[in-house]
């Protein structure tokens, strides 16, 4: 794998990578785009996964697997100068929804076991965010005013 250390983009969606989480991904230190959606992974995500690519990811798609684990602070993994997409939907992630990059355009955390409030999302809805799906989780608390404004702006084309 040493000859792959300079790889910046990987799309292995719908390939049979599972059932174990592919540990070799952690050796790809130059990644900015990672898509391993629908790859039959049924494993716990390594804790160190969330700190592998400081300030360089622009796209992360782990959707439609059976990945378990807690999602930590995502903001530090994403390039603050580039619009980003995160899709962790249809897994078994649990815990609070982590802070996300302010340059986020797409956030899909649906169909997980996430809990807690969503107040921090006010930091991203005033930015580039155009898609947000938090459905089928165990979220609690009030819907912040900023999300009502976000929905109104989407419906009215602002």
pLDDT, greater one: 80 or 149: 80
Look at residue 112 in the predicted model and tell me its pLDDT: 97
User: At residue 156, does pLDDT exceed 80?
Assistant: no
Q: Full-prediction pTM beyond 0.85?
A: yes
Q: Which residues pair with 60 in a beta bridge?
A: 34, 86
Homologous superfamily, domain 9-156: Ribonuclease Inhibitor (3.80.10.10)
For residue range 120-140, list pLDDT tens digits in order.
777 776 678 888 899 999 998
For residue range 67-94, list pLDDT tens digits in order.
999 998 777 777 777 878 999 999 999 9
Look at residue 127 in the predicted model and tell me its pLDDT: 72
For residue range 20-74, list pLDDT tens digits in order.
999 898 888 888 999 999 999 999 999 888 887 767 889 999 999 999 999 987 7
Only one residue has tokens 């049979």, namely 16
Q: Which residues contact 148 (CB under 8 A, 6 or more apart)?
A: none
Residues 152, 73, 153: CA angle, nearest 5 degrees: 10
| Residue 1's pLDDT band (cuts 50, 70, 90) | very low
Whether 73 and 96 have beta carbons less than 8 Å apart is answered as no
């Amino acid at each position: 794998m040493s000859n792959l250390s300079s790889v910046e983009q990987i799309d292995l969606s719908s390939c049979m990578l599972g059932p174990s989480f592919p540990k070799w991904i952690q050796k790809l230190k130059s990644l900015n785009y990672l898509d391993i959606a629908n790859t039959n992974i049924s494993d716990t995500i390594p804790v160190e996964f969330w700190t592998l690519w400081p300030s360089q990811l622009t796209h992360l798609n782990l959707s439609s697997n059976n990945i378990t684990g807690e999602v930590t602070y995502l903001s530090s993994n994403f390039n603050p100068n580039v619009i980003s997409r995160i899709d962790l939907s249809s897994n078994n992630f649990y815990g609070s929804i982590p802070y996300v990059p302010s340059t986020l355009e797409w956030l899909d955390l649906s169909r997980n076991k996430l809990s807690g409030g969503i107040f921090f999302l006010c930091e991203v809805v005033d930015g580039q965010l155009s898609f947000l799906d938090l459905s089928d989780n165990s979220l609690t608390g009030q819907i912040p005013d900023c999300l009502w404004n976000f929905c109104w702006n989407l419906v009215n084309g602002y």
